[in-house]
Chain A
């Protein structure tokens, strides 16, 4: 299991590297500047030490030497600052560009994923992969990497500088530092479980908050406010405890390591001072100050590294999730010689179609249908009977398992998706509008339509009068998912959208369920006009629509039970007859 994980991590890392590849020049420069920065930073204390060695006592100050040293210091400082800035710029460049590349690819994949994948995954979770995971990945992996790199270089550099000055004191530093690591590690291990407890408790509470506040009206209708508050408080109390523990213990890391650092510092001061006082020693006061400042710098990366490692692992996990999305199998590609459906008259047929969403549950079996131009097909059945399945197949949102669906005699798998879908006008039960102006939404199917045409379509869909009353008319910006519009208004817009492009075939899914009956009646007329001479598939609830249909598909539990026209089905005395009679049975 663990090994598997490691292999997986290595694979992820490899993929990450391919993304960075195009920016390798920046990476090389970034590393180079990091080394320069660290080296120069470490050189400053040496210079400071030397200066101090030339400031001994009254009258014993060698100004000439000091001035030289100070000049050199100024130079080194300038160099460090420059290198540091360039390193930052390189890192930013790599991070932001890689993030952009990954997001672009992920989004492109979303556009070609099979609907099956999109329907089967929580949208929130997919969004968080593209947004939060990518950010986390960038922060953790790229920033973490540069932190890790500078950290290691600093440690090595410091060691090198220290050894070059005095080996024995270096030993003191090296021996005491692990204590700091140990302390940090110890605390981290202990706090991990506390953080877990805190986050699970928090999760529990958030779930409750979500559920109750979203449905506050039901809570109030049943006067359950106090019970809910009680339940909330119980979790809240647990959260307080968990939160106190987690916060407190995790906040011990800083004082703990700071204390160990002060031990290192003292150790250096002690040994260094003893060296410096012994007669004839080569160890000077200046070198002691230099060492003291190293003692501070040396321990710092150690403390950071332990944090960086967990962050790196977390980042890899995030990267893994994004790559899983990017590498997801796309919808079947169109064949090379895919035809473009043209001159669609409205001949649709299906032959021996078998389809199911999952192999265990068979749904559509041996379904054959012949629809001639201008015919109406009503799909009827109780809610949840799988009426949308038919739409999914017709529009080729899903592919049939076997058999075939044909438009104008051409298998829809052999024509371009674009030309197939262009042949249909679709109004779904779930009204979906994109963020943007009303105009943009209406012209979605026909971007080059004139305003005149657009207004005509809106009038035909009885949407013009309410659009006119909106603050900016057709230029009113509607928020995500239609924002402030009512369900009925959204549906009118969806209808107008189809009215504008008027394709040869129509798919209407309970299209008018949220529109009041009087408007609906007017729309019915518009619909009737629209359907004239057009092959249409209607998920129907209204008796009149059903009766007028040329073919009625009766569905239940995902299966197609009966097929035929109204009279024939009534005469059959099956499920349809039962449905029909129940309407007047009371």
Chain B
């Protein structure tokens, strides 16, 4: 939380002025009982009409000044809070953008989204409330006590006893109930979980006729929630009556002491009235303070969560744009001259261990690919296919060996340039809300109509666009919900093709396509101008059997490299995979 406070740095003035004006307002409020007491003791006793009117004018003036102070304070508080929230939001979003895949995996997207939205909102309103109230309420409570001292020492001692007692009750109830409320929340979450599960799993639950059982499970959750709520409710139900008793008991004692003091001439009637008024002011403020503390604890917890995200450092600290330009040109030249000898992509004894996992996900991967070649990658689930291709655009850094593109280590490329060369289509076909055109232009911001259609045609997605009203301008809903899985896949392939990448990676991205479309797609890609180097990750042998080179992965290691025919002959794993899919033909 502390680390977030630096975002208030531009609002130092507001942060000082807001509480200051609030205190001013509070002090004017504290004077009011004194004025009333003066009206009684001087005005009424002396029957001085002029004095009474004058004092009432003073009260109006106090109210007016209080209003102005308060409005000023609210403005500064709101300004500081809104500015603070905006800065934190910007910083956090920008920070998340720098995360490499490792950090995103670690933090989890759902968490990141909550941090960005509701957590920051809580912190923002917490800041606002603190600036407005945190000084005001204690100030009034202690101010009232101090004022009591100025009136009468003995009466003031009653305040000295009452305030800690009240605080004890108010904060005691809070201390007990806050953790209990957390438990209520946990149980509510459970009820929520069961509800969601019964919606997503409706088919399975009904297939196994578990409706009654689920109802019982829900009932259990519900009852444990209600019993916890009732329990907490019972405790909080004490708060109001008990504070009421304390404050009024104190008033009784105060009246009695006042009576004695007046009798011996130490106090006046008006002063007793003022003391009673101070007593009632305390209660209101203490309750406000209690509510404020709840807001603050929440905001503080949220703040800590936000700060913990900001503390995550990207494991890929290379600047995204800084380019080793000279070096690069050299490379360009050398590439021209040594086109044949330098492989397009080379893995040299690469090992990869994901953060927080003990074993290597890829070990000793060693191969090279020439420009224009098509490479098939096949292997079981968890054999490391995706991990392997993710190393090419440097989504993860290798933990052993190196990955070279055109003979140059991927770590030596500026990230942006590296990723410009690589077009990757991921397993999960994601489209963004907007139009089809906007989505395709992610690949190349200034792509022409012709380029777009060319890419669509290659990706077998032309019919998708043509089937939509508005063609390229057709609306894409969030997540591409208004397209089928296969349509989304083809559009994401088109998106990657628009930039005419040197290296194209299709990570199991034809899984939702039928064999015929898949085959046409592969053919079209092979005939693309510029002859990109293509990596096809697939579970189906049919998708890769015609590749120039097939890499067979098994449990993170290369089980075989070669063409379809010689793998069939030499590679046990490949043969098994192939046979499982073509049992009859084999």
Contact = CB atoms under 8 A, between A and B. Distances in A.
Given A127-B196, A216-B96, A517-B580, A240 B82 contact: yes
Interface stretch (A56-64, A158-166, A333-341): A56-64
A89 B231 CA distance: 10
B52 A85 contact: no
A361 interface: no
Most central of B67, B381, B382, B495 by chain A CB within 10 Å: B381
Nearest to B433: A211
Nearest to B199: A123
Nearest to B89: A236
Interface string B55-82: 1100110111011001100110111011
A263 B60 contact: yes
A528 B193 CA distance: 36
A228 B97 CA distance: 9
A107 interface: yes
A58 B32 CA distance: 25
Interface stretch (A16-24, A92-100, A363-371): A92-100
Interface in B84-105: 85-86, 89-90, 93-94, 96-101, 104
A113 B195 CA distance: 13
A54 B422 CA distance: 93
A570 interface: no
A574 interface: no
B207 interface: yes
Interface in A270-290: 270, 273-274, 276-279, 285, 288-289
Contacts of A236: 86, 89-90, 93
Contacts of B71: 252, 255
Nearest to A267: B56
A308 B181 CA distance: 24
A373 B326 CA distance: 75
Interface string A218-257: 1111111110110011001101110110011001101110
A327 interface: no
B359 interface: no
Nearest to B262: A55
Interface residues of B, number: 164
Contacts of B124: 243
A397 interface: yes
Nearest to A240: B86
Given A81-B241, A81-B242, A432 B201 contact: yes
For chain A, what secondary structure do more than half of its interface residues adopt (helix, strand, loop), or is it mixed? helix
Interface string A568-586: 0000000000110011111
A192 interface: no
Q: Tell me what chain B mostly uses at the interface: helix, strand, loop, or mixed.
A: helix
B249 A277 contact: no
A28 interface: no
Interface stretch (A311-319, A532-540, A542-550): A542-550
B226 A221 contact: no
Contact of A247 (B82, B193, B415): B82
Contacts of A258: 66-67, 70
A585 B47 CA distance: 113
Contacts of B576: 517-518, 521
A248 to B, nearest CB: 4
Contacts of A202: 117, 121
A510 to B, nearest CB: 10
A382 B269 contact: no
Contacts of B584: 543-544, 547
A285 to B, nearest CB: 5
B201 A434 contact: yes
Contacts of A434: 197, 201, 205
A215 B495 CA distance: 15
Contacts of B582: 543-544
Nearest to A58: B265
A73 B40 contact: no
A171 interface: no
Contacts of B558: none
A518 B575 CA distance: 10
A277 B49 contact: yes
B276 interface: yes
Contact of A214 (B25, B62, B81, B113): B113
A60 to B, nearest CB: 8
B158 interface: no
Given A107-B195, A131-B188, A292-B36, A247 B200 contact: no
A11 interface: no
Contacts of A241: 82
Interface string B278-290: 0010000000000
A100 B222 contact: yes
A547 B109 CA distance: 43
B56 A266 contact: yes
Contacts of B74: 248, 251-252, 255
B333 interface: no
Nearest to A221: B424
B373 interface: no
A480 interface: yes
Nearest to A63: B259
A32 to B, nearest CB: 16
A224 B181 CA distance: 42
Interface stretch (A347-355, A399-407, A422-430, A450-458): A422-430
B410 to A, nearest CB: 14
Interface string B555-580: 00000000000000000010011011
Output the residue of B191, B233, B514 with the most chain A CB within 10 A.
Answer: B514
Given A518-B577, A579-B516, A58 B117 contact: no
A84 B241 contact: yes
Interface stretch (B208-216, B300-308, B335-343): B208-216
Contacts of B47: 277-279
Contacts of A52: 255, 269, 272-273, 276
Contact of B203 (A220, A239, A265, A432): A432
Contacts of A97: 226
A285 B196 contact: no
A383 B484 contact: yes
Interface string A55-95: 11111110100100010011001101110110011001100
Contact of A586 (B214, B226, B256, B523): B523
B486 to A, nearest CB: 5
B198 interface: yes
A61 B381 contact: no
A251 B132 contact: yes
B215 A211 contact: no
Contacts of B93: 209, 229, 232, 236
Interface string B358-396: 000000000000000000000111110000000001010
A415 B173 CA distance: 58
A123 B66 contact: no
B430 A215 contact: yes
B230 A48 contact: no
A397 B109 contact: no
Nearest to B190: A435
B202 A247 contact: no
Nearest to A542: B581
A372 interface: no
B512 interface: yes
Contact of A288 (B40, B229, B513, B577): B40
A123 B201 CA distance: 11
Contacts of B351: none
A363 B75 CA distance: 62
11 contacts: A58-B262, A60-B263, A73-B248, A89-B233, A127-B196, A131-B188, A211-B478, A259-B66, A262-B32, A266-B63, A586-B523
Given A85-B238, A266-B56, A289-B276, 18 more contacts: A52-B273, A56-B262, A81-B242, A100-B225, A110-B202, A210-B113, A216-B96, A218-B426, A233-B90, A256-B67, A277-B44, A277-B49, A277-B52, A278-B47, A285-B273, A515-B380, A516-B382, A578-B516
Shortest Cβ-Cβ A-B pairs, 5 listed: A516-B380, A582-B516, A262-B63, A88-B237, A255-B70
